[in-house]
Amino acid sequence: MDTYLRLSQAEEQVFVAELNRIEPSEREDIMEIVTSWMEQGIEQGIEQGIERGSLQATRSLIKRLLPRRVGALTEPINTQIEGLSLTQLEALAEALLDFSDRADFERWLATQDAT
């Protein structure tokens, strides 16, 4: 459906021209459909934005807390953390409270590669 919402400037001009050729009552019906699609697209965008924000905030918090528990994070570990999903990051946030050393963290990370 989002394919239909993304019009180039030329396509939009054609759409408006065609819309102007249609009877006013039919035009209203078409615009209701377009508006509905736009609303759905906006809602989807908001949901994705919230999810991305949550992912970034969780990742940032973990990157601040982990070094206090296991020492400095290397670039490969940072890369692995960047690749974790929100669900995995949330699990890591809980698990890091139980880490007593870097080996605990590395074992936890190794189990994430397997999933």
Q: What are 34-54's pLDDT values in tens digits?
A: 677 677 777 888 888 888 888
Q: What pLDDT is stored for residue 114 in this prediction? A: 55
Report whether 74 contacts 109 (CB < 8 A). no
The stretches in the chain having pLDDT less than 50 are: 1-3
C-alpha 102, offset from chain centre: 29
3-state SS of 48-68 is: HHHHHHHHHHHHHHHHHHHHH
| Whole-number CA gyration radius for the chain | 24
pTM of the entire structure? 0.60
